[in-house]
Structure 1
Amino acid sequence: MHAQLTVTPARLPEILLTTAVVRPVFLWGAPGIGKSSLVRDFAASLGLDCVSLLGTQLAPEDLIGVPQIVEGRSRFCPPEQIARDEPYCLFLDELNAAAPDVQKAFYSLILDRRIGSYELPPGSVVIGAGNRATDQALARPMASALVNRLVHVHLRAAPGDWLAWAAGNGIHPWVIEYLTQRPDHLWSPPPKTEEPFSTPRSWHMLSDLLHSAGDPADDETVALLAYATLTPAHAGAFRAYLKVARHAFDLEAILKGDARWPAEPADRDLLYFLAETFRARLVKDLPADKRHASAAVRQFAFRAKSLLVELAEISLEMAQLVIADDEAGNPRLPSWFLVEAARDLPRLVAARA
């Protein structure tokens, strides 16, 4: 399903408080961005137990129950975990990955809040969740009858929300410090091949592994754990970041002129990390329109062009990485800065010579 609008994890409770208390909600989102934990937290905020049913592990009778003969008539008895007397949150996880006959079994529960003769207690909420077909995850098409019975909310990963949560939930300092500098590495699209990829869940996993390994973990151990949980490019950058942190290389110091780009062949991974971080800093701090640039930003842009020259003297490849287009062929950096860089670099090179 295509998302016209998306919400962040921080705003989701407010949205659910408006929607889920009156209508069943379906929460769309990529794998690993925290859909399940957010629903459980929302239920807890309402003082409700959260009963989770995993769509991929259900058969229709797991919902409808089995028939019993009562006074010569059959009556279906829903499972005990569903047929409760007190209000609760019914969480239908991976609903759109369930088999079609299981999805059909949910119809009356979602629309009429009942299964057979059992009706959900007043005050109960029903929330479903699932991945999108574009996420390379198991997702079956939803019948239009089911789609039309749900309020659809699309969740996106938000680095600021996750870092605020991480600070109070024991996430390893290395992970927090790295993602503070590279928030764009919190999430990556699921790959078409079978390999790890970066999500809030996988960063949480890496944090647990680093805590288990103990401090200080050696470089090879860090590399093994990072490549076992993250997108390969992010794992390599995380490993390089730790070398930066451990060897006092700092982009801020380079920007201020207190340090230089690392130039030794053994520092290539450090240089790659710093070049990527430099690019991310330019993307963040340079406005799309030069007319909106303050005097301080213009000074920063001039300094950035000088640093590009210094970087190119060490590695032309790394300098090209800073100004390269994204995967879709679109410029990452503002066009005015690229034009100025192309115009001014010869003059800066001559000045250095």
Structure 2
Amino acid sequence: MQSAVTVTPADLPEVLLHVAVVRPVFLWGAPGIGKSSLVREFAASLGFDCVSLLGTQLAPEDLIGVPQIADGRSRFCPPEQIARDEPYCLFLDELNAASPDVQKAFYSLILDRRIGSYELPAGSVVIGAGNRATDNALARPMSSALANRLVHVHLRASAADWLAWAMRSGIHPWIVEYLTQRPDHLWSAPPKSEEPFSTPRSWHMLSDTLASYGDTLTGENAADTVALLAYGTLTPTHAAAFLAYLKTVRNAYGLDAILKGDARWPAAPADRDLLYFLAETFRARLVKELPADRKHASASVRQFAFRAKALLVELAEISLEIAQLVIAEGDDGELRLPGWFLVEAAQDMPRLVAARARK
């Protein structure tokens, strides 16, 4: 299921506070963007216990309970973890990955807040969560009867929200600094092949493993160890860029120094990964700083654009392929850089090349 309207992790608690307290909610989102953690944090904010049921590990009888005979009549006894006296948050994780029979068992619990003769305590909230079929994750079609019993909320990853959380939560400084420069690398779409991919969860895992190694990562074999960890948790292109970023830190390279003229593009063949990372960061800076319309460009922005064109010439002298990546279209065929800048760059390039030749 897809939606044109999504919420960020920072927006979600307010939505749940008004919606989940009156109607059951289903939270859609890609793997690893923090759905489960956000639900637990929401429950804690209400002072509720969060009881998690994992749809893929349940059978119908796990919900309905087992029958007992009392006064010559049978009645079903729901599981102890569900049958509570105080209000709580019932979290149905991976609900849409459950078998059809298990999904059916949830119907009365979700809509009527009842299992057999047991009714959820007043004030309890019911929240489900799951991945989308397009995420290459385990997901079964949700029946119309179940879908119609839920308010559907779609969560998207937000670099700004995650970085604010990361700085409060002790995430490794290398990761915070890197994603501050490359927020677009926080999340990538799940691949069709079996390989790691970048999510807020995988960056958190990388942070934990880096912290576990501690100061030993400053030794001779540090680069190999960090590479092992990065490629074991992130999308391969993001892992390579992260390693190149660490190389800039260790070698006092930086895009700001290149923009100011205090450093040059690294030209050694051994630094090709570093050059690629700096070029990608350069492109991201251009996308961020240059307005869509030249009329909205201040004097400082026009000066930055002129310097950027000169740097493109210098970059092309080292690697035409990497220079072309800076100005290339996105994967969707749309221009990443504003058209006015690309036109000016094409017009000014011969003059800039000639000026370089006279130096």
The reply to whether TM is greater than 0.5 is yes
Question: Counterpart of 1:127 in structure 2: which amino acid?
Answer: I
* Correspondence for 2:321 among 317, 321, 324: 317
Q: Distance in 1 between matches of 2:152 and 2:162?
A: 22
Q: Which moved more, 1:327-336 or 1:141-150?
A: 327-336
Give the match for residue 308 of structure 2.
304
Matched, 1:249 2:253: yes
Q: Deviations over 1:28-55 (max 9, x none)?
A: 0000000000000000000000000000
Return 5+ residue gaps in structure 1 as ranges. none
Q: Deviations over 1:65-112 (max 9, x none)?
A: 011111111101000000000000000000000000100000000000
Give the match for residue 137 of structure 2.
137
Give the match for residue 9 of structure 1.
9
Task: Tell me the CA shift for residue 204 of structure 1.
Answer: 0.3
Give the match for residue 262 of structure 1.
266
Q: Distance in 1 between matches of 2:213 and 2:288?
A: 34
Matched, 1:332 2:333: no
Give the match for residue 193 of structure 1.
193
Give the match for residue 32 of structure 2.
32
Give the match for residue 151 of structure 1.
151
Question: Counterpart of 1:243 in structure 2: which amino acid?
Answer: K
Task: Tell me the CA shift for residue 336 of structure 1.
Answer: 1.3
Question: Counterpart of 2:98 in structure 1: which amino acid?
Answer: A
Q: Distance in 1 between matches of 2:260 and 2:252?
A: 15
Give the match for residue 240 of structure 1.
244
Q: Distance in 1 between matches of 2:73 and 2:4?
A: 49
- SS of the equivalent of 1:27 reads strand
Matched, 1:80 2:102: no
Task: Tell me the CA shift for residue 216 of structure 1.
Answer: 4.9
Q: Distance in 2 between matches of 1:321 and 1:37?
A: 37
Taking structure 2 as the reference length, the TM-score comes to: 0.97
Q: Distance in 1 between matches of 2:349 and 2:331?
A: 25
Q: Distance in 2 between matches of 1:198 and 1:241?
A: 16
Change beyond 3 A, Cα 1:321–1:216: farther
- SS of the equivalent of 2:52 reads strand
Give the match for residue 105 of structure 1.
105
Task: Tell me the CA shift for residue 339 of structure 1.
Answer: 1.3
Give the match for residue 180 of structure 1.
180
Give the match for residue 289 of structure 2.
285
Q: Distance in 1 between matches of 2:298 and 2:77?
A: 69
Q: Distance in 1 between matches of 2:244 and 2:187?
A: 19
Q: Distance in 1 between matches of 2:254 and 2:54?
A: 46
Q: Which moved more, 1:341-350 or 1:180-189?
A: 341-350
Give the match for residue 352 of structure 2.
348
Q: Distance in 1 between matches of 2:181 and 2:215?
A: 21
Question: Counterpart of 1:28 in structure 2: which amino acid?
Answer: W
* Correspondence for 1:230 among 231, 234, 242: 234
Q: Distance in 1 between matches of 2:20 and 2:97?
A: 21
Return 5+ residue gaps in structure 2 as ranges. none
Matched, 1:95 2:95: yes
Question: Counterpart of 1:310 in structure 2: which amino acid?
Answer: E
Q: Distance in 1 between matches of 2:347 and 2:93?
A: 55
Task: Tell me the CA shift for residue 328 of structure 1.
Answer: 2.0
Q: Distance in 2 between matches of 1:289 and 1:302?
A: 16
- SS of the equivalent of 2:242 reads helix
Taking structure 1 as the reference length, the TM-score comes to: 0.99
Identity of aligned residues (%): 83
Q: Distance in 2 between matches of 1:79 and 1:53?
A: 11
Give the match for residue 206 of structure 1.
206
Q: Distance in 1 between matches of 2:352 and 2:216?
A: 42
Q: Distance in 1 between matches of 2:345 and 2:104?
A: 60
How many residue pairs get aligned? The number is 353
Q: Distance in 2 between matches of 1:340 and 1:18?
A: 51
Q: Distance in 1 between matches of 2:339 and 2:135?
A: 32
- SS of the equivalent of 2:68 reads strand
Q: Distance in 2 between matches of 1:345 and 1:223?
A: 38
Give the match for residue 123 of structure 2.
123
Q: Deviations over 1:215-271 (max 9, x none)?
A: 251111111100000000000000000000010001001111111111111111110
Task: Tell me the CA shift for residue 192 of structure 1.
Answer: 0.6
- SS of the equivalent of 1:168 reads helix
Q: Distance in 2 between matches of 1:264 and 1:278?
A: 19
- SS of the equivalent of 1:214 reads helix
Q: Which moved more, 1:206-215 or 1:190-199?
A: 206-215
